[in-house]
Chains A and B, each alone.
Chain A
Amino acid sequence: MTRRTALSGLVSLVLPVLLVVIWWIVSSGSRSIYFPPLREILTVFREQWLFDGFTSDVLPSLKNLLLGVVAAVAIGVTIGVVVGSSDILWEIVRPAIEVGRSCPPLVLIPIVIGIFGIGSDGKVFLIFMGCLWPILVNSIDGSRSIPSEWLDIGATYRLSRKMRLTIRLRSASPQIMVGIRLAVAIGMSMVVASEMFAADRGIGHYLVQAQNLFNVRGVWAATILLGLIGFILTLIVDALDKLLVRWHHEMHAHGGGESRSSRKQLGNTR
């Protein structure tokens, strides 16, 4: 089994490595302005982002992302659990939530930057707005799909309100993690987009500058960096997911889990 796992890990790396090697070889003699040799891109990457540019341009952006996501989790989960535990409340706010979740967060950038200015307050708010809806919707969904036996147990044992809330949160947590995963991806896009629109620093700002100065290598290097950051963020969320809701994955790993997981696949809106 372990050999098989190791083998499959190896197989999964073949294609990515192969693609990078092909890119390296094909582009090595490139004279095109738009597709510079990978070697030169990586030189720019090293000079620009390891590590001076990283601390000055990337870390502040990541801090904004963290603040926005944390605020969205705090507010989204709170409202989500409250709304999700009452049928009539859910019916009442449903249209409002449908509108909110449909609102493309990118189109809010001009007006929010107009209100907050180009500092980081507006960016945190934009990230928050982008992240709130997937977390809220999934918290409501998770809270509503609590197995009715769990509620019955809580009532039969006359558990305190706090205990019953804990049960509900626990039951909703796998779905909440789904929301957080989506939120982090949206949040990252919001970070870049808001910095591209108006900022005095940050990697999005750097990207636009490089584009305007026709610094093609700089654009390629920054794009690669953003891709890597996005990927690492999803790995972090995956690890968090394993840590927090391992019981859920274990519960559904063997038989009977299929129907629920396939329903989830269909049920995840956004």
Chain B
Amino acid sequence: MKPTAKADPKPRTLDASAARNFVARRTVVWVARVLVLLVGLCAWQLVCVSGGVSPDVLPRPRPTLQHLPTLLSKSETWQAVWQTLDGWALGMAVSLPLAVGVGLVVGSSSWSYRATSVLIHFFRAVPIIALLPLAVLTLGATVHMKAFLVLLATFWVILLQTIHGVWDVDPVMDSMTRSFRLGWLARARWLLVPSIGAHVATGFRLAAVLGILVSMGTELLASVPGIGFKILQAQTVADTVTEVDYIIIAVALALTMSVLLTLVERRILHWHPAYRERASA
């Protein structure tokens, strides 16, 4: 997702025609975006009207969207959002320091990486949902079980990013800090945090979005309170309007999370080469 110069033509001079072009282009883009949205809604309506899909399983767009504000004004909806975030936050709070700590150790020598790489890649490849029955049996359908699965899913993502971050430390800078005899605090401040921080931030963003997904999936499949469970409940009583509304809320939650974290990342890491490149390219 990197905007190129053409994609983001900020008029740098007060050239009237360039400014006009810019405005025209933005207008076209926004009109087209609204059209895309309308086409999507029409397609939904068409699928319902054509009779291919029974109204018992897929509601029409109008009643669904009309019901959304009612749902959003209920406190139980926000409670469900809170419950989803609760398990997620608990898992992430353990996962982040643990993964960064282990990553620093593993990444620091080529032998420690070799010794653990098969293990890391094995566990990363395990479909996390497959661990759900085991987790339910041993931990019960609780918020702790949800947090545990979030931890298991996100740990490897952050770990691998941290390891790559350690590898990314510039060897010249590293020897410079040594020859200047900087203390470990100064070394951490000026060398390690800037080099590794960018990778950890990216790992955190990827992991956070994955964690939300795992959190909701756990709720849906193991009946743990949260948005996922709300979807399941609505489906059980065949209230498809509410079901689709909760799906919309789930998408909005994941989208908000991802957009927010991207913004924070860009704000914190504006100096990083990967981001500078994007801003100036």
A216-B137 CB under 8 A given contacts A102-B255, A114-B235, A196-B221: yes
A45 at interface by CB-CB < 8 Å: no
A108 — which chain B residues lie within 8 A by C-beta? 247
Contact with B along A237-268 (1 / 0, CB 8 A): 00000000000000000000001001101111
Stretch at the interface among A51-59, A90-98, A172-180: A90-98
A210 and B133 within 8 A (CB): yes
* A119 interface residue (CB < 8 Å to B): no
Residue of A with least CB distance to B113: A12
A156 at interface (Cβ–Cβ under 8 A)? no
- Min CB gap A203→B, angstroms: 8
Contact (Cβ within 8 A) A219 B118? no
Whether A265 and B220, one on each chain, are in contact in the complex, defined by CB atoms closer than 8 angstroms, is no
| Tally of B interface residues using CB under 8 Å | 76
List, in ascending order, chain B residues with CB within 8 A of A87's CB: 4, 6-7
Q: Is the CB of B7 within 8 A of A227?
A: no
**Chain A residue at minimum C-beta to C-beta distance from B277:** A263
Q: A108-B247, A266-B274, A270-B206 are in contact. Are A230 and B240 (CB under 8 A)?
A: no
Residues 212-245 of B, flagged 1 when their CB comes within 8 A of A and 0 if not, give: 1100110011000001100110010000100110
Give the contact stretch, choosing among B11-19, B25-33, B182-190. Answer: B25-33
Q: Are A185 and B250 in contact (CB under 8 A)?
A: no
A115 at interface (Cβ–Cβ under 8 A)? yes
**A104 and B36 contacting across the interface, CB-CB below 8 Å:** no
Q: How far is the CB of B20 from chain A (nearest CB, A)?
A: 17
Contact of B117 among A12, A93, A106 (CB under 8 A): A12
**Are A219 and B244 closer than 8 Å at their CB atoms?**
no
Stretch touching chain A among B65-73, B74-82, B120-128: B120-128
A216 to B138, CA, bound (A): 9
Which residues of B have CB within 8 Å of A234?
Answer: 121, 124-125
Given A111-B58, A197-B221, A226-B130, check contact A16 B247 (CB 8 Å): no
A169: Cβ under 8 A from any B Cβ: no
Q: In the complex, A86→B257 CA distance in Å?
A: 28
**Chain A contacts of B243 at CB under 8 A?**
110-111
Rounded to whole angstroms, the CA-CA distance of A114 and B232 in the bound complex is: 12
B32 touching A96 by the CB < 8 A rule? no
- A residues less than 8 Å from B130 (CB atoms): 189, 192, 204, 207, 222-223, 226-227, 230
Q: Tell me if A110 and B251 are in contact (CB < 8 A).
A: no
Question: Are B25 and A109 in contact, with the CB atoms below 8 A?
Answer: no
Are B116 and A15 closer than 8 Å at their CB atoms? yes
Say yes or no for B134: interface residue by CB 8 A criterion: yes
Closest to B265 in A: A266
Q: Which of A104, A105, A110, A141 has the most CB of B within 10 A?
A: A104
CA of A13 to CA of B122, assembled, Å: 12
- Tell yes or no: A50 within 8 A of B by CB: no
- Residues of B135-184 whose CB lies within 8 A of A: 136-138, 161, 164, 168
- B residues less than 8 Å from A102 (CB atoms): 209, 251, 254-255, 258
Whether A103 contacts B251 in the complex (CB less than 8 A), given A92-B36, A231-B125, comes out as: yes
Residue of B29, B122, B275 near A88 (CB, 8 A) is B29
28 contacts between A and B (CB under 8 A): A11-B114, A12-B114, A92-B32, A96-B36, A96-B37, A102-B251, A104-B213, A104-B216, A106-B220, A108-B247, A110-B243, A115-B57, A115-B58, A144-B4, A188-B127, A189-B128, A189-B129, A193-B129, A193-B217, A196-B132, A204-B130, A210-B133, A219-B137, A227-B125, A231-B125, A231-B126, A234-B125, A268-B206
Interface residues of B, Cβ cutoff 8 Å to A: 1-2, 4, 6-7, 25, 28-29, 32-33, 36-37, 40, 53, 57-58, 111, 114-119, 121-134, 136-138, 161, 164, 168, 198-199, 202, 205-206, 209, 212-213, 216-217, 220-221, 227-228, 231-232, 235, 240, 243-244, 246-247, 250-251, 254-255, 258-259, 272-275, 277
